[in-house]
């Protein structure tokens, strides 16, 4: 069936009404989703120092202002370091756990499943508060844990790891078991089978996991607000704090930079996916 809307609207004036309503809703939804994005993008090229419409002069001044401000570039750097750390941490632990669930039977399996998934359903403010009070005064070997980037990485992993776990569990289910069994029969130890046979088969899933974890950590700011100090605050945290005092086009620049990074990650996933498809068809 080429056009599924046909049967919904067949007789009398219904087709006209139906078509008009569909069009109206389409316009509404496109406008709704795009408004905050387009407003931000446009505002980042504004020349004036205030948020005001219409925009009279266009310039890249706020971009150079952002790059010239040590506070903002430092925040961007923190965001990147924390996001990379979160991606590594949550992908490693998530993949291994998903493999355990796919391959082995062990006691308390369904209970552990719920335990691993649970943090995903907890509000960020609760997770941030919990980690902050539990590790607030802790020092290990003279190094304060609280306020460190490492603690934020783990906190972000609480959301990223269950997602990786879910994604990889679904991916592992798609692989051909016979290939794994063949590797075992040929005498490969489990570790070798895993790294040389299984991992290459699920590379798209792994790349997606890494980048999704990266994006989650990059965008998150409620937990980071609870867990960072002045030296380790991330870009979204700095944006939140400066929005509370005064909004300037610099915030728009920061938003655009965050969004561009995310879309770069998405493009990477797409490119990898296309590459894999070509490999298979060859």
Partner 1 sequence: MTADTRAYTAARAAVIRRKRAAPWLLLFPALVIVLIFFGLPTLYMARMSFNLSEGSKLYTPGLSWANYQTVFSNTVFVAAIWTTLKLALMASAATLVIGYLFALLVWLKPARWRLILIGLALCPLLISEIAIIFGWWMFFPKNGLLSFALTNSGMIKDKISLMYTEFAAFVGLVYLTLPFCFFILLSILDGIDKRILEAAADLGASSLTILREVLLPLTRNGLLVAFSQCFIFTMGTYATPSALGPDTLWTMGFLIQEQMLGRNNWPLASALSMVLVILVGVMMGVTRAFSTRRATLHV
Q: What does the longest C-alpha to C-alpha distance in the chain come to?
A: 79
When the beta carbons of 22 and 177 are compared against partner 1, the nearer one is 22
What is the nearest approach in angstroms of partner 1 to the Cβ of residue 3? 6
Nearer to partner 1, 203 or 247 (CB): 247
Q: Between 194 and 272, whose beta carbon lies closer to partner 1?
A: 194
C-alpha span between 183 and 280 (Å, rounded): 20
Which residue lies nearer to partner 1 by CB, 8 or 179? 8
Residue 187 region, left (φ>0) first, then alpha (ψ -120 to 50), else beta?
left
In angstroms, the CA 92 to CA 77 distance is 23
Closest separation in Å from C-beta 98 to partner 1 = 9
Query: How near is the Cβ of 35 to partner 1 at its closest, in Å?
Result: 6
User: Residue 236: what are its φ and ψ, rounded to 5°?
Assistant: -60, -35
Task: At 251, list the tokens.
Answer: 């915030």
Task: Find how far residue 46's CA is from the centre of its chain.
Answer: 28
Q: How far is the CB of 275 from partner 1 (least distance, A)?
A: 19
Looking at the chain, which runs of residues are DSSP E strands? 139-140, 143-144
């Amino acid at each position: 069936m080429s056009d599924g809307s046909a049967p919904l609207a067949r007789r009398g004036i219904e087709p006209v009404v139906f078509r008009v309503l569909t069009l109206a809703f389409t316009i509404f939804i496109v406008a709704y989703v795009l408004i905050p994005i387009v407003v931000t993008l446009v505002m980042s090229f504004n020349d004036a120092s205030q948020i005001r419409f219409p925009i009279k002069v266009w310039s890249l001044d706020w971009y150079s202002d952002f790059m010239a401000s040590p506070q903002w570039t430092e925040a961007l750097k923190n965001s990147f370091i924390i996001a990379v750390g979160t991606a590594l941490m949550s992908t490693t632990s998530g993949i291994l756990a998903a493999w355990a669930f796919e391959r082995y039977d062990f006691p308390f399996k369904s209970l552990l499943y719920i335990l691993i998934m649970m943090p995903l359903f907890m509000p960020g403010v609760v997770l941030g508060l919990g980690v902050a009070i539990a590790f607030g005064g802790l020092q290990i070997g003279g190094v304060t844990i609280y306020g460190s980037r490492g603690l934020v990485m783990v906190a972000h992993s609480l959301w990223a790891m269950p997602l990786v776990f879910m994604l990889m569990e679904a991916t592992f289910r798609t692989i051909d078991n016979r290939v794994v069994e063949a590797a075992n029969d040929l005498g490969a130890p489990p570790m070798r089978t895993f790294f040389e046979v299984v991992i290459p088969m699920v590379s798209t899933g792994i790349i997606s996991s890494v980048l999704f974890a990266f994006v989650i950590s990059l965008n998150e700011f409620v937990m980071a607000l609870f867990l960072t100090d002045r030296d380790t605050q991330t870009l979204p945290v700095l944006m939140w704090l400066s929005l509370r005092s005064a909004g300037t086009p610099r915030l728009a620049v920061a938003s655009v930079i965050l969004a561009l990074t995310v879309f770069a990650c998405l493009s990477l996933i797409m490119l990898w996916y296309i590459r894999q498809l070509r490999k298979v068809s060859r």
